[in-house]
Chain A
Amino acid sequence: MSCRTRLRSLPLLMVTLPLWLMALPAHAMSLETLADHLTAQGDVAGRFEQTRYLADLDTRIDGRGHYRFEQGDRVIWALESPVEETMELSDAGIQRNGERIDDDPAGVATLIMQLLNGRFSALADRFDITLEGDEKAWHATLVPRQQGLANYLHNIDMRGDARLERINMAMADGDRLNIHLLPPEEGAGTAAASSQQAP
């Protein structure tokens, strides 16, 4: 039991963190106001680019794809390159390429949903969150509270202006995962629209 609880939190967090962080509005400089604005957010969709930097090999792996976040219902994170893989989170659990991942408890997806709906208190349980700057250029740092998570994850660094733009995760072993959320194009309200607009 014990391994699972801790292990699961990490991969899931890494998959889903960018998704719910996107919903951070720029002018929300306290967790409470952030929460309020999160609940007021509509659907967001766009493209992303990401880079995994491997410290020991001094090499990088690039990927890109599109995301879509339906407020309160569903999160879709679709990798297009180097391989196609779609992760989908909803109340029903986690699906990978349309197939339910059996060993993933549905409860986690519910937690993510609650976060997306602005229940920030649960997130603050797991991280120390520091907010800096103002609405034009803000910067948030999340440091794991617990040693278990901290053994793998050093911190999460987020920047944005009117919207969330970058998420940088620094792993404890020196590896990095940088995600760049490209600006949503006008009218890109749905996943279908955004993927059609993709080059």
Chain B
Amino acid sequence: MTRTSRLPALLWGLVLTACLIFSGWQLLRGTSLDTRITALLPDTHQSPGVDRANEQLGAPFTHRFVLLLDAEQPGEAAAELAQALQRAGAVSEVRYRPGDYQLDSLLEVLGPSRYRLLDDHLRATIDGGDISELRRQALASLVMPTGIDQHPVRDPFGLLNRWLDSQLSTRFDTRGDLVTLEVDGKALVVMTGELAGSAWDTGLQDRLTGAIAQFQKAHPKAHLWRSGMVFHAADGAHQARSEISTIGLGSLIGVLLILLVVFRSPVTIATLLLPLVTGGVFALAITLWWFEGIHLLTIAFGSSLIGVAIDYALHLQCARALAGRNFRLRHMLPGLALGLVTSVMAYVVQAFTPMPGLRQMAIFAGCGLLGAWLTVVLWLPMTRVRTTPSTRQLAERLWRVLDRLRGRLGPRLALVLALIAVAIAGVRLQGDDSLRLLNTSSQQLLGDEALIQRELGRDTGTVYLLITAHDNEGFLGRVESLDPMLDGLVKDGHLGGHTSLADHVPSSARQRANLERTRRLYQQQLDQMYASAGLPPALYERALETLTQSPPLTLDHWLTSPLGESDQRLWLGNIDKGQVAGMVTLNGGIDDHAHQQLESLARSDEHIELVDRVEQISNVLGKLRRQIAQWVAGALVVLTLMLALRYRWRTWRVIAPAGGAILTVLTLYALLGVPLNLFHQLALLLVLGIGLDAGIFMQEHPRAHHAWLAITLSIISSLLAFGLLAFSATPVLHHIGMTTLIGLASVWLLTALVQRRVPKDQPAHHDNTHDHG
């Protein structure tokens, strides 16, 4: 090595040291490991109202959780569970007893306005005129009050109690000082918790699930149902972590074993693994710096990608091991450089997608490859490689396999096969863009979640109407005008339910009309009622006086009161252009009929927007899938042209392994009826990168045993990494694994099949000087 080549190597060493220090500092500082599957999703560029609405509506599901508990001694079990959760430091608050709910402001907030708050049923009764039953009940509760503040003057008809009855869920109950919910004839304790931190904080997830697991161990007969983002995030993180360790470790051991068999030298193996380490350090540092954090899936996906980086080291070291002293780096450089450029191009296509998660993966993979490549080119030539006869023997044996396969696929047959494959894939291949792909939760958890959301009417804010108006009154009026239609959908079973602020705060027009009804009721009934109860008639004037002094319940007052706190998520307040906005959430099953009705409603009124996040995300996934296909097709055309400059008519042999493998995968999926999804396509990008590498090296060194040895080793090691991914329970990783498994096997076979027939007895080590045939 000369002095001039030592300087870049030294510089690269300094860069890596800096990267190592930076990453170490970032990780020690507690940079969060992101496990949100939704981080993979694009920022859908929509109105700021929708973005805020999405965030607000999802917040309770994100920051809180619900547990249902079935135990023989529910009181003690619930207390133990609550204590365990608090001791673990996972929650800032747990509620499971009636007294845990702070409602002391009930009378204060709603009391003065109660005469303006009449539910639909009471309104209809008063308007209908048959109020004898109303009077009888009122009289009975004057003697024996059965609700709060049923007072002859303040509330002779128990309006506050009636309003509350109409407002609150009837599903909850109290038993033995526990809040319970009856499900299938069993009273289950309802426990809600507020997380002490972020649902995606893996430390918090561990503390929470640890506390619950401990409780379950102590109470094997108790049954728990869980709902909340934190559990899904924990499930995803747990799975990803265990899979990274098993799949990562599995592939590492496999690769090491194979390399040991081939090179029989720990030092050589160390030099092969060194680029992976340096590539990883470089990629991690750049990703942490760029994104200020790293997604767990990036590491899972990216570390497998860096397995591709072993390509360069393999090509170099195979060549050195076989060539010995005749080795010259400059003969290798064109192939290595083209390999890097094509692979990085294939991965960096992902960086153009609007998915932040994929951008991160693209950057991570690109940097990893670059880091590994620089290490191979700058550092590896300085190491020593032991030449062993066994390596040569193996290379020759592989070469004989290649000789047997080569030339069997000529350009004409290849073209016909490609056309057939394109026809089959074009006709039969289906797409799948459903959100299920992103799901990492266990069946058990999904079942729990479905049960709790059904029984509690809890919505996660995925489908809603965004309503805008000029002011609060306009908003409430607009929502009230929608109620009959929504109620109709609920009644006919097209919709589970709907919730909005207008349920709790009637418009002031409606409140005024209600107050008039109450006045009418008082004027018609109160005298008689006082007489029956033996109360002085003078109270009548006092009761009417309370009506004139009754203030309307305003939206702002309700939202700032402790009672209205949970409704804040339904209100956006002022948005731009002097408008206010709020949401009507739709929960339970929404069938096609309801969807169509709501869509046509939204189309006909510019102040109403139907937002369906699941559908939106599916649409985006689909769009992205088509976009990537176009990008890759475009990239392939550009690469073909680029490669044609160097390889002329041999270009088809360079393209065939990658292109053929992709077509094989697509045709196979079309025939097997596997719908193609975004993640299959991402995996095809990897197949493309590795396939191009193989094609390029075989053309750069057509007679070189070392090239074929390196290609074979690289594909085997990548197959090990991705083959194991195919067994992942995470759907995303499974799809990636399956596709690369089929694709890479095809790449290897096709690389051999499309090579030109050559005279058999070419000596292997001549290739370094004469391999550009």
Contacts and interface: CB of A to CB of B under 8 A. Distances in A.
B644 to A, nearest CB: 70
A81 B103 CA distance: 34
Nearest to B563: A3
A82 B103 contact: no
Contacts of A56: 151
Contacts of B173: 5, 8, 105, 107-108
A66 to B, nearest CB: 14
A111 B535 contact: no
A6 B563 CA distance: 14
A59 B535 contact: yes
Interface residues of B, number: 50
A152 B160 CA distance: 15
Interface stretch (B94-102, B445-453, B665-673): B94-102
A146 B137 CA distance: 29
B176 A125 contact: yes
Contacts of B92: none
Contacts, number: 144
Interface in B513-550: 532-536, 539
Contacts of A177: 144-145
Contacts of A146: 97-99, 177
B99 A147 contact: yes
A52 to B, nearest CB: 6
A179 B456 CA distance: 39
A82 B145 contact: no
B164 A7 contact: yes
Interface in A148-171: 148-149, 151-152
A1 B168 contact: yes
B174 A9 contact: yes
A2 interface: yes
Contact of A5 (B98, B187, B563): B98
Contact of A85 (B98, B136, B168, B456): B136
Interface in A96-115: 96, 102-103, 105-108, 111
Contacts of A62: 143, 534
Given A3-B103, A6-B103, A146-B99, A103 B139 contact: no
A182 interface: no
A189 interface: no
A148 B98 contact: yes
A190 to B, nearest CB: 23
Contacts of B99: 6, 146-149
B165 interface: yes
Contacts of A63: 143-144
A6 B105 CA distance: 13
A14 B174 contact: no
B383 interface: no
Contacts of A105: 170-173, 182
B675 interface: no
A4 interface: yes
Contacts of B95: 2
A15 interface: yes
B179 interface: yes
Contact of B532 (A3, A82, A126): A82
B532 A79 contact: no
A7 B152 contact: no
Nearest to A150: B99
Given A103-B165, A103-B170, A15 B176 contact: no
A107 B95 CA distance: 20
B168 to A, nearest CB: 4
A181 to B, nearest CB: 14
Majority secondary structure, B binding face: mixed
Contacts of B533: 61, 82
B442 interface: no
B726 interface: no
A82 to B, nearest CB: 5
Given A2-B101, A57-B153, A152-B148, A79 B143 contact: yes
Contact of A3 (B101, B152, B456): B101
Contacts of B637: none
Contacts of A15: 144, 146
A50 interface: yes
Contacts of A108: 173-175
A50 B144 contact: yes
A122 interface: yes
Interface string A109-139: 0010000000001100110000000000000
Interface centre among B143, B164, B175, B456 (most CB of A within 10 A): B143
B167 interface: yes
Contacts of A125: 75, 176-177
A111 B176 contact: yes
A61 B142 contact: yes
Contacts of B142: 52, 61
A28 interface: no
Which residue, B177, B536, B563, has most C-beta atoms of chain A within 10 A?
A: B177
A105 B190 CA distance: 15
B596 interface: no
Interface in B173-216: 173-177, 179-180, 182, 187, 190
Interface in A78-98: 79, 82-85, 96
B147 interface: yes
B106 interface: yes
B179 A5 contact: yes
Contact of B534 (A8, A12, A82, A126): A82
B172 A61 contact: no
A4 B172 contact: yes
B606 interface: no
A80 to B, nearest CB: 11
A92 B176 CA distance: 19
A98 to B, nearest CB: 13
Nearest to A51: B143
Contacts of A10: 147-148
A11 interface: yes
A173 to B, nearest CB: 9
Contacts of B97: 146
Contacts of B182: 105-107
Contact of B140 (A79, A145, A148): A79
B525 to A, nearest CB: 13
A54 interface: yes
A107 B148 contact: no
Given A57-B152, A59-B536, A125-B177, A82 B168 contact: no
A124 B535 CA distance: 37
Contact of A54 (B136, B152, B165, B456): B152
Contacts of A103: 165, 170
B169 interface: yes
A52 B143 contact: yes
B534 A6 contact: no
B748 to A, nearest CB: 61
Interface string B3-41: 000000000000000000000000000000000000000
Contacts of A5: 98, 101, 172-174, 179
Given A59-B535, A151-B104, A4 B164 contact: yes
Nearest to A60: B534
A59 B174 CA distance: 34
Contacts of A9: 98, 174
6 contacts: A5-B173, A8-B173, A52-B142, A61-B142, A84-B136, A126-B177
Interface of B: 75, 95, 97-99, 101, 103-104, 106, 136-137, 139-140, 142-148, 151-153, 161, 164-165, 167-177, 179-180, 182, 187, 190, 456, 532-536, 539, 563
Given A6-B99, A50-B144, 4 more contacts: A52-B144, A57-B535, A121-B176, A146-B97
Interface of A: 1-12, 14-15, 50, 52, 54, 56-57, 59, 61-63, 79, 82-85, 96, 102-103, 105-108, 111, 121-122, 125-126, 145-149, 151-152, 177
Q: 7 shortest A-B CB distances, which residue pairs?
A: A2-B101, A63-B143, A146-B99, A11-B146, A4-B168, A85-B140, A83-B139
